[in-house]
C-alpha cells in the first residue's frame, strides 16, 4: 500500500489548513444551547461558502467531488485546528449518504444543498423507548392519508432534536419486526419535542411525540416497506468512516501527549499508547477508504472500527481527567470525558457490535 499523499492531496491539505487558520472562531457556546446552536449554524454556512462543509459530495449539492482520502485529510486538519463541533452532523453523515444511495434526484436537489449550508438541521429519529438495540421492535406508525402519510408514535434519544428543523427515521407502514418499515423524512414544526438533559445538564437530545403529523409522499425515501434495508445500509456509514473519522481522535491524542509531557512515566506511557492507537486507527481507515474507492463494501467490519474508536476516546479522556485532577473542570477535557462515556452506547452499543463481529466477521456460531 502506498502511504504517500499525491501532490494534489498535499495541495488540498495546505488549502484547508490555511483557510482554517484564518477562519476558525474562538470556542463557540455549546451547540446544545439556543445561542450556541445559532452560532454553529452560522459557522456551517461560512464553511459551506468556502465549499468546505461537505467536500466529498458532488459539486451540484455543495461539495467538491473530492475523494474519501481528501475527506479524511480535511477531517485531520479540521480537528487539529480546534474547529467547532459539526451541528449538521446527523444530516451530513447519516441522511445524506442514504439520500445519495436510495433517494430520488429531486430529493437530493431539494435537501442536500440546504443541508450543506445548515439552512436545515436534521435529527435522527430511530430509537424508541422499547426499541434501541432491538430496532426492529419499533412501533411508531405511518398511516396512509390523502397525498402522504400521517405519523404516530414516540421516538427518543434524538440528538440535536431540541433545536433541529427536520428529522428522519423509520415508521411502521405494515407487517411485523423488520418487514413493513418505511424510511421517512419530516419537518419538526408539528412534532411535540421534549428535550432531555445529558450529563452536562444541556438538552443534547430529545423525545419526539407524533400525533398525526402529515408528511407528503415526497418525504418517503426509497420504496414503502423497504426501510429496514435502507437503514441497515446507513448504519455502516454511521459506525464506519463517516461519523467519527480518525482526525478527531488524532487531535485528541496530540493534546493528550502534550498534557502528559511532564507526567509520571506510567501515565505518560498510557498517553503514548493512546497516540499510537489513534495513529493505527488512522492507517487502518486509509486502508478502508482505498477499498471503498475501489468499489468494495465497508460491511460489518465497520463494527470493529466503532468498538475501537469509542474505547480509545474513553481511554484518552479518562487519562486526561486523571492527569488534571481537580483542574479538569476548568478545561474542555471534562465535557469531553462526559461525552466519551456515551461512545460505547450510541451508533449501536459495543455489546451489539461485538456480536456482529463474532457472527458476521469471524463467522462464529450464534
Ligand X SMILES: Cc1cc2nc3c(=O)[nH]c(=O)nc-3n(C[C@H](O)[C@H](O)[C@H](O)COP(=O)(O)OP(=O)(O)OC[C@H]3O[C@@H](n4cnc5c(N)ncnc54)[C@H](O)[C@@H]3O)c2cc1C
State how far the Cα of 322 lies from the Cα of 272, in Å rounded to an integer.
15
- From the list 57, 47, 39, the residue with the least C-alpha distance to 22 is 47
Q: Is 348 in the site for ligand X (CB under 6 A)?
A: yes
Least distance from ligand X to the Cβ atom of residue 164, Å: 10
Q: Is 352 in the site for ligand X (CB under 6 A)?
A: yes
Q: Is 132 in the site for ligand X (CB under 6 A)?
A: yes
Q: At what angle do helices 68-80 and 265-293 cross, to 10 degrees?
A: 150
For 102, the 3-state DSSP assignment is helix
With contacts defined by CB under 6 A, how many residues of the chain interact with ligand X?
19
Q: Measured over all CA atoms, what is the biggest interatomic distance in the chain, rounded to whole angstroms?
A: 69
- From the list 109, 121, 94, the residue with the least C-alpha distance to 58 is 109
Contacts with ligand X, 161-190, as mask; x by CB under 6 A: ------------------------------
Cβ atoms within 10 Å, residue 199? 12
Judged by CB under 6 A, the residue of 53, 56, 98, 159 near ligand X is 159
Q: Is 328 in the site for ligand X (CB under 6 A)?
A: no
Cβ atoms within 10 Å, residue 105? 9
Least distance from ligand X to the Cβ atom of residue 198, Å: 7
Which residue number places its CB atom closest to ligand X? 132
Q: Of the ranges 50-58, 227-235, 297-305, 339-347, which one interacts with ligand X (CB under 6 A)?
A: 339-347
Active site residue 44: no
- Residue 184 phi, psi dihedral angles, 5° rounding: -130, 150
Cβ(69)–Cβ(9) under 8 Å? Answer: yes
- From the list 77, 79, 52, 76, the residue with the least C-alpha distance to 63 is 52
State how far the Cα of 130 lies from the Cα of 155, in Å rounded to an integer.
9
For 218, the 3-state DSSP assignment is helix
Judged by CB under 6 A, the residue of 6, 10, 133, 276 near ligand X is 133
Helices (H) and strands (E) in the chain, counts: 12, 8
Q: Of the ranges 66-74, 113-121, 156-164, 301-309, which one interacts with ligand X (CB under 6 A)?
A: 156-164
Whose Cβ is closer to ligand X: residue 43's or residue 93's? 93
Cβ atoms within 10 Å, residue 360? 13
Judged by CB under 6 A, the residue of 9, 349, 358, 361 near ligand X is 349
- From the list 316, 306, 309, the residue with the least C-alpha distance to 347 is 306
Q: Of the ranges 22-30, 114-122, 263-271, 351-359, which one interacts with ligand X (CB under 6 A)?
A: 351-359
Residues 185-224 that bind ligand X (CB under 6 A): 205
Judged by CB under 6 A, the residue of 31, 191, 312, 342 near ligand X is 342
Residues 71-90 that bind ligand X (CB under 6 A): 90
Length of the chain: 366
Whose Cβ is closer to ligand X: residue 67's or residue 162's? 162
Whose Cβ is closer to ligand X: residue 232's or residue 293's? 232
Least distance from ligand X to the Cβ atom of residue 125, Å: 6
Instruction: Please give the span between the terminal C-alpha atoms of the chain, in angstroms, as a whole number.
Output: 35
Tell me the CA distances in angstroms from 42 to 17, 54, 88, 214, one per residue in order.
20, 15, 11, 30
Residues 249-268 that bind ligand X (CB under 6 A): none
Whose Cβ is closer to ligand X: residue 67's or residue 353's? 353
State how far the Cα of 341 lies from the Cα of 337, in Å rounded to an integer.
7
Selecting among 46, 207, 238, 279, the annotated active-site residue is: 238
Cβ(54)–Cβ(117) under 8 Å? Answer: no
Least distance from ligand X to the Cβ atom of residue 76, Å: 24
Judged by CB under 6 A, the residue of 124, 236, 237, 310 near ligand X is 124
Q: Is 125 in the site for ligand X (CB under 6 A)?
A: yes
Whose Cβ is closer to ligand X: residue 132's or residue 336's? 132
Q: Is 308 in the site for ligand X (CB under 6 A)?
A: no
Least distance from ligand X to the Cβ atom of residue 145, Å: 24
Q: Which residues are tagged catalytic?
A: 238
**Interaction site with ligand X (CB under 6 A):** 90, 124-127, 132-133, 157-159, 205, 342, 345-346, 348-349, 351-352, 355
Amino acid at each position: 500500500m502506498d502511504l504517500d499523499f499525491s501532490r494534489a492531496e498535499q495541495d488540498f491539505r495546505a488549502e484547508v489548513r490555511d483557510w482554517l487558520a484564518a477562519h476558525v472562531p474562538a470556542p463557540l457556546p455549546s451547540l446544545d444551547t439556543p445561542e450556541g446552536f445559532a452560532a454553529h449554524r452560522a459557522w456551517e454556512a461560512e464553511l459551506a461558502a468556502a465549499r468546505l462543509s461537505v467536500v466529498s459530495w458532488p459539486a451540484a449539492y455543495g461539495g467538491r467531488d473530492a475523494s474519501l482520502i481528501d475527506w479524511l485529510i480535511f477531517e485531520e486538519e479540521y480537528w487539529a485546528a480546534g474547529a467547532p463541533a459539526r451541528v449538521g452532523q446527523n444530516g451530513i453523515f447519516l441522511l445524506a449518504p442514504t439520500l445519495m444511495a436510495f433517494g430520488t434526484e429531486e430529493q437530493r436537489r431539494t435537501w442536500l444543498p440546504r443541508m450543506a449550508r445548515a439552512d436545515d438541521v436534521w435529527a435522527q429519529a430511530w430509537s424508541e423507548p422499547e426499541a434501541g438495540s432491538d430496532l426492529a421492535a419499533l412501533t411508531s406508525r405511518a398511516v396512509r392519508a390523502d397525498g402522504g402519510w400521517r405519523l404516530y408514535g414516540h421516538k427518543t434519544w434524538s440528538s440535536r432534536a431540541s433545536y433541529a428543523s427536520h428529522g428522519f427515521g423509520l415508521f411502521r407502514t405494515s407487517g411485523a419486526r423488520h418487514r413493513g418499515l418505511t424510511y421517512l423524512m419530516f419537518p419538526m414544526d408539528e412534532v411535540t419535542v421534549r428535550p432531555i438533559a445529558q450529563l452536562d445538564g444541556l438538552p443534547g437530545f430529545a423525545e419526539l411525540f407524533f400525533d398525526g403529523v402529515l408528511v407528503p409522499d415526497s418525504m418517503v425515501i426509497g420504496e414503502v416497506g423497504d426501510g429496514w434495508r435502507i437503514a441497515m445500509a446507513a448504519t455502516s456509514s454511521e459506525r464506519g468512516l463517516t461519523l467519527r473519522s480518525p482526525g478527531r481522535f488524532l487531535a485528541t491524542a496530540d493534546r493528550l501527549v502534550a498534557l502528559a509531557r511532564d507526567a509520571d512515566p506510567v501515565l505518560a506511557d498510557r498517553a503514548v499508547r493512546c497516540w499510537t492507537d489513534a495513529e493505527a486507527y488512522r492507517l487502518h481507515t486509509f486502508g478502508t477508504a482505498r477499498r471503498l474507492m475501489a468499489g468494495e463494501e465497508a460491511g460489518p467490519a465497520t463494527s470493529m472500527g466503532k468498538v475501537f474508536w469509542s474505547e480509545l476516546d474513553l481511554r484518552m479522556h479518562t487519562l486526561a481527567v486523571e492527569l488534571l485532577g481537580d483542574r479538569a473542570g476548568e478545561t474542555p477535557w471534562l465535557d469531553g470525558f462526559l461525552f466519551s462515556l456515551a461512545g460505547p452506547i450510541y451508533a449501536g452499543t459495543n455489546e451489539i457490535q461485538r456480536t456482529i463481529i463474532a457472527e458476521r466477521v469471524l463467522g462464529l456460531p450464534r
